Structure 1
Amino acid sequence: MPLPAQRAARMLHKRSLNLSGHRTSVALEPEFWHALHLIAQARGLALAALVGQVDAARPPDRPLASALRVEALREWMPALPEMAGADGQDQLG
């Protein structure tokens, strides 16, 4: 039986993107890739351009994959910025 980390790794889809002239890989769940594609399309951007914007805006200590997940959640959950403090910590309890 696979370990939980092995199962999770199989659920992630890795994509290679060119960001600011550098090749990088990002692994996300297919649902997040789908959401990001829809967001990019709605904004009239290529996926790589959207990822580049998120990459440029993220805090240096936040991994790119995490920043992309948060971007997808913010787009689909308008109340998210109100539920999180300025430091990104959950204020719900």
Structure 2
Amino acid sequence: MIRKHSATLHGHRTSFTLEEPFWIELKSIATARDMALAQLIAEVDDSRSADSNLSSALRMYVLEWIKAEKNRG
């Protein structure tokens, strides 16, 4: 199921939509990196290309994290 989420990034409220498995993994990544979820979302937002939306950037970040973990293990 896809759900709408919101976060405050650099003092501004923004919203994005993610499927539940991506949301769960994103929270897990933030925990693994010992950082606040909002901080991780801001990091992804800051590094995404101008032609990408935040929802897509977050999905791609999760996918890349999982692939990197697979290669490490």
Q: TM-score, normalised by structure 2?
A: 0.90
* Alpha-carbon distance, 1:59 to partner: 0.4
Per residue, is there more strand in 1 or in 2?
Answer: 2
Larger Rg belongs to: 1
* Structure of higher RCO (CA pairs closer than 8 Å, 6+ residues apart): 2
The corresponding residue for 2:27 is 37
Q: How does 1:5-84 map to 2 (within 5 A)?
A: 11-78=1-68
Shift of residue 39 of structure 1? 0.4
**Code of the aligned partner of 1:50:** L
TM-score normalised by the chain length of structure 1 = 0.71
Gaps of 5+ in 2: none
Which structure shows the bigger proportion of residues in helix conformation?
2
Identity, in percent, stands at 46
Aligned alpha-carbon RMSD (Å): 1.2
Please identify runs of 4+ aligned residues in structure 1 that moved more than 3 A: none
The one-letter code of the counterpart of 1:35 is E
Amino acid of the structure 1 residue aligned with 2:33? R
User: Counterpart of 1:74 in structure 2: which amino acid?
Assistant: E
> Number of residue pairs matched?
69
Unaligned runs of 5+ in 1: 1-10, 80-93
- Give the whole-Å Cα distance in 1 for the aligned partners of 2:68 and 2:34: 20
Secondary structure of the residue aligned to 1:77 is helix
